[in-house]
Amino acid sequence: MTADIPTPLVTSRAQLLQQLARPVVHDLAVIGGGATGLGVALDAAARGFSVVLLESHDFAKGTSSRATKLVHGGVRYLAQGNIALVREALHERTTLLRNAPHLAQPLAFVMPSYKVWETPFYGTGLKMYDALAGQAGLGHTEFLGRMETLRCLPTAVAEGLKGGVKYWDGQFDDARLALALARTAARLGALVINYCPVSGLLYDAGKVAGVVCADAETGTPYEVRARCVVNATGVWVDELRQRDGQDCGQPVRPMVAPSQGVHIVVDRDFLPSDHALMVPKTADGRVLFAVPWLGKLILGTTDSPRQDLAREPVALREEVSFILGESARYLRRAPRAADVRSIWVGLRPLVKPQDDDSASTKSISREHTVLTSGSGLVTVTGGKWTTYRAMAEDVLRQCMHDRLLPHKPAGVTVSLALVGAGRIRNNGGLNAPQGLHSYGTEAPVVASLPGADAALAPGLSEAMVRFAARHEYARTVEDVLARRARVLFLDARLAASLAPRVAQLLAEELPGHDPQLEQFLQLANQYATVPT
């Protein structure tokens, strides 16, 4: 390691649990290791608070690893007239790209026009998008002719094509960004632990004073004292809110309206371009994307209300048919069910309008909500990946307003580079298969580990598995192949074929620990199965 690149922290689980057992009172306990919880933990640690974060499964196991991989202001929200949300998201987009250049980058989008009025109509709106971005813009919106559109989208349906509009947004690797947040928070002194579910709250004189949790691997219980507790469990926040309400004798009204989004992954040759395709209005009123990502093409997404909160939700047959059908309207060679490499589903924690239980999820705002219960439990939900940092500031502002934490100035994460921030030249970025470039400045450390030359698949080496176990909190085959490497999300059958060797490597790195191979093979089969 060079002098200006810190040595990666070792994520020994025994040491983490030893720290958890210490009889100390933390300033802040965060429940939930997705984008929101990790953002709160990082911001608090950067301000000098003592922080513990507990995640029931793996970091970003839920919604935060299942995004459309876009860092965006939200063209759709602009159409809804939510100017403030778009302006904030555009500002945060630039901040994210600057603080994690190895995990996020600009991406050009093309909106093809098959009706004469579409180019000027949507182009005018996207010019407004540019204006809202101001100096934070990534590129100027351009009006394209028919041939220019086909050069950008070579496999788009040419019949009836009038032209198009090109604009700029960003894309990122969501699960690895979550991991970078966790590791950066840890570097700043936060104690972050995965596989440590919270089962209850501690109270002093009717006020929340900490949490009860347990090591999911051994069942060992822990009591963690904290002056302030934040519930950042995403789509599952109501479960803890209900428990808090029961403990304090206060009725609680659910605040989340879950929505299911399905993404389908196919080979890149269905759209061999560095440009993404965007359809502004599909048959169900949603935006449809075809996004190049890590050597594949992501098609999505849907918006279906769900009442159940499964950890591994399954795509509905009609959702898959919808995405494939809409894709066939715009791609000359339309993907079929047999072409699907992986299919994955995320649940969005949309904030329910308190005066209208009938609102559809398509009409619900993506803005976040922060509230404090009578007992002092702070809950945050809603929002989106792009604004995770601003959401964290809002949460801490609420904690200070309620005098759960002493005041400390905000803005400390605006220019805070995340672990690994840096690029490797000539790597193709997020349009190329995952490789050492996703580690940024830590790439030399990975390359120095045993197995650096032993490739398991394009862009994945045995050394990367070892790095995941030693420095990235990985405990299972799924942790490695779903979130440290993104193989499960890109090609589920390939992930299944790699799983036995990954399990062997984890067994070497984590002696006596079960890497849960069979559970992963079942999950890979789910991701590879297209519902019929």
- Note down pLDDT in tens along the chain; length 532 residues: 444 677 899 999 999 999 999 999 999 999 999 999 999 999 999 999 999 999 999 999 999 999 999 998 877 777 667 788 888 899 999 999 999 999 999 999 999 999 999 999 999 989 988 888 888 889 999 999 999 999 999 999 999 999 999 999 999 999 999 999 999 999 999 999 999 999 999 999 999 999 999 999 999 999 999 999 999 999 999 999 999 998 888 888 999 988 999 999 999 999 999 999 999 888 777 789 999 999 999 999 888 888 889 999 999 999 999 999 999 999 999 999 999 999 999 999 988 765 544 444 343 345 889 999 999 999 999 999 999 999 999 999 999 999 999 999 999 999 999 999 986 655 667 888 888 889 999 999 999 999 999 999 988 999 999 999 999 999 999 999 999 999 999 999 999 999 999 999 999 999 999 999 999 999 999 999 999 7
Rounded Cα distance, 455 and 469, in Å:
17
| 424 contacts 440 by C-beta, under 8 angstroms | yes
Owner of token pair 């939200």: 74
Would you put residue 527 in left (φ > 0), alpha (ψ -120 to 50) or beta? Answer: alpha
Strands 25-31 and 221-231, by their bridges, are parallel
Q: Mutual orientation of helices 462-471 and 492-509 as an angle, nearest 10°?
A: 60
Rounded Cα distance, 349 and 385, in Å:
12
| 420 contacts 187 by C-beta, under 8 angstroms | no
Task: Say which amino acid occupies 177.
Answer: L
As beta bridge partners, residue 345 has 262
Tokens for 81? 């007239």
Task: Say which amino acid occupies 327.
Answer: S
Tokens for 381? 């939900």
DSSP 8-state class, residue 483? I
Rounded Cα distance, 376 and 116, in Å:
56
| 52 contacts 26 by C-beta, under 8 angstroms | yes
- Dihedral of alpha carbons 471, 474, 479, 480, sign: positive
| 238 contacts 254 by C-beta, under 8 angstroms | yes
Query: HEC string of 430-454?
Result: HHCCCCHHHHHHHHHHHHCCCCCCC
| 301 contacts 376 by C-beta, under 8 angstroms | no
Rounded Cα distance, 275 and 500, in Å:
36
Could you give the domains of the chain?
13-63+176-255+353-401 (3.50.50.60), 84-171+257-351 (3.30.9.10), 429-528 (1.10.8)
Rounded Cα distance, 284 and 81, in Å:
19
Burial class (CB in 10 A: 0-12, 13-18, 19+), 495: buried
Torsion of CA 277, 263, 56, 40, to 10 degrees: 20
Angle 139-144-149 from CA coordinates, rounded to 5°: 100
Terminal alpha carbon distance of the chain: 52
Rounded Cα distance, 235 and 291, in Å:
25
